[in-house]
Amino acid sequence: MARRSSAGAKVGLVLVGLLVVGWFVAGRWAGYAWAHVKAQAFPRDVALLAYFPDSAPFVAVVDPHLTDKASVGAEARARLERMRADVLEASGIDLVRDVDKIVVGQDLVVVRARYDAKELGDVLTARKYTLGEHAGLAYFVRPGDDALALAGDGLLVYGSEGAIKKAADANASGKTLLADASFVAALDEAGWRHALLARAVVDDRPASLREAILSSGSLKALTFSVDTRGGVLDLTLSLEAPTQGAAEELQRMLEAARKKLADEGKGIEADIARGAVVTLDGAKPRVHVRLHVPVAQLEAEIREVEETKAAPEIAWLALFLSGLAGAPAAVPH
């Protein structure tokens, strides 16, 4: 039998190696492509709520697949690219290629991502994280710093060790936002097909007798969504009042404020007010506000705020809106 040449064997090994690498890379990008299609057709992902305690005051769901890159300002893009590079170096996870959804809470972040558990564990171990466990949830922690749980089914749970333990307890007991039917229903009603979808509960108690009699009362909850298209952010807010009378009063107040700002305001605030629409919900005690915000004007406003060094938190909020992830949300403590 003729012996194969060593050169031929080397060529064969190189080809096999290229095929393996190509399969790996194609697999990662194929996963991204499928997730992109899924975000368009089936964006609902309530499993992301399974680690937030039912007492969580708010969550914001960011979907990178539904973000129009033209609507992310240049400054926000630069910051996001730096963040992407830092996270990739620290964890091996690419925020663009590997992450499908991010849910940000008060002190917790839950991510739907594609990752290799062993590879990620090795990276964290090399960075001096140690393995811990609480209520059945395994996590990596660096004491006094932060923690990351590999929750399975493509979920990562990030926060301080205390926040991770609370998330594990909530998940084990079933007392989570996932089990809160009204919370999930509000997100479903707003629809999951948004670049950003958020809900905050201010007061979950039923209307009091005084609120019913006086048609007054504080805001109960709000649901907030952002859609991006061609350099414009479309924002929709649904504000929930305790009674229909209170909702009608809220609508009158907001419409009066909108008209005053449109007539007397200046710059981007006046432009946004002129294009805003404030409507009363016909079926529930709610008021809907729709805004259209040009990203270029928003960035100009950010620069003006930063140059004057005034109210830096406002600049961060504006940057978050223009980039949908520009501000460092949930910093562990």
Q: To which residue do tokens 């400054």 refer?
A: 75
pLDDT tens-digit series, residues 308-324: 554 443 443 444 444 43
Q: Are 85 and 97 in contact (CB under 8 A)?
A: no
CB-neighbour burial class of residue 217 (10 A; exposed 0-12, middle 13-18, buried 19+): buried
Quote the pLDDT of residue 38: 55
pLDDT band at 12 (very low <50, low <70, confident <90, very high): very low
CA atoms within 13 A on the CB side of 142: 13
**Amino acid of residue 56:** A
Q: Are 243 and 258 in contact (CB under 8 A)?
A: no
pLDDT tens-digit series, residues 89-124: 888 888 778 888 999 999 999 999 988 999 999 999
pTM for this prediction:
0.77
Q: Are 251 and 278 in contact (CB under 8 A)?
A: yes
DSSP track, 81-143 = HHHHHHHHHHHS--TTTTEEEEEE-SSEEEEEE---HHHHHHHHHHTT-EEEEETTEEEEE-T
Q: Give strand pairing partners of 234.
A: 227, 292
| Average pLDDT, rounded, for the chain | 79
Lowest mean pLDDT among 64-78, 269-283, 288-302: 64-78
